[in-house]
Amino acid sequence: MQSNSRPTSKIIDLTQTLCAEIPSWDGDCGFNLSVSVDYTDCVAPDLFRVQSISTRAGMGTHIDAPAHCISGAKTVDDLVIENLITSCVTIHLDQFADENYVVMPEIVHKFERENGQIEPSSFVIFYTGWSKYWNNPIEYRNGLRFPSLHEQTAQLLLERHITGLGTDTLSADSKGNSFPVHRVILGAGKYLVENIANADALPATGAQIFVLPMKIRDGTEAPARIVALV
């Protein structure tokens, strides 16, 4: 007798929680949540707490649209939803990535020898293990020294026709290298996601990812809620 049961998917939240203490590129507080109306200001039974948010757009787990560094390119609200909900590839590097580690093209070639070539329209995450420092902003920022990508690796991924690139660090580019990965990926009309959480729970292939940024008109960056189905 044939079973009618269906395989269930595990939902993985890849989003860091926003609060005033989180790490930032500049090292200062870039996010603030304040209360403008509190329960004690109201008359029962109509009790409300009303809050305001003040933040730079590129805080926490967030997306960089092409316009972040390419004049006249697509902004967050221009991104096609079909490119934000797609298959996910995760390259696990946490066993050997340190603050000086640079992901070279051979890492991608090695991954493909073991898992098959990265399929077109994939979103590729490099899990370096750096996210373990998230709750210690000084260590996470580390003077802007953390695992990063080489420009040639970004070029190789464009040859695979990816939709976007993600990392569990502040940036795909670390301090002092003039942001070549940003220029390559965003210059090709793709997007970047930074400060990804819980990527250790993702398989190399087979996951589906939902990259859902705030839809901000003319936004070059935006906080995003990112989840994966495995």
Q: What whole-number distance in Å separates Cα of residue 74 and Cα of residue 108?
A: 27
* % of residues, the chain, pLDDT over 90: 91
Q: What is the pLDDT of residue 185?
A: 98
Q: Is the omega angle on the peptide bond into residue 66 within 30 degrees of 0, that is, cis?
A: no
Q: What is the pLDDT of residue 175?
A: 83
What is the helix (H) or strand (E) element at residue 159, kind and residue range? Answer: helix 151-159
Phi, psi of 56, rounded to the nearest 5 degrees: -75, 150
Query: The pTM is what?
Result: 0.93
* pLDDT surpassing 60 at residue 33: yes
Phi, psi of 168, rounded to the nearest 5 degrees: -100, 30
Going from the C-alpha of 146 to that of each of 142, 191, 210, the distances in angstroms are: 7, 20, 26
Phi, psi of 187, rounded to the nearest 5 degrees: -65, -20
Q: What is the pLDDT of residue 1?
A: 46
Q: What is the pLDDT of residue 4?
A: 58
Q: What whole-number distance in Å separates Cα of residue 226 and Cα of residue 122?
A: 15
Q: Quick one: CA dihedral 78, 57, 61, 69, positive or negative? A: positive
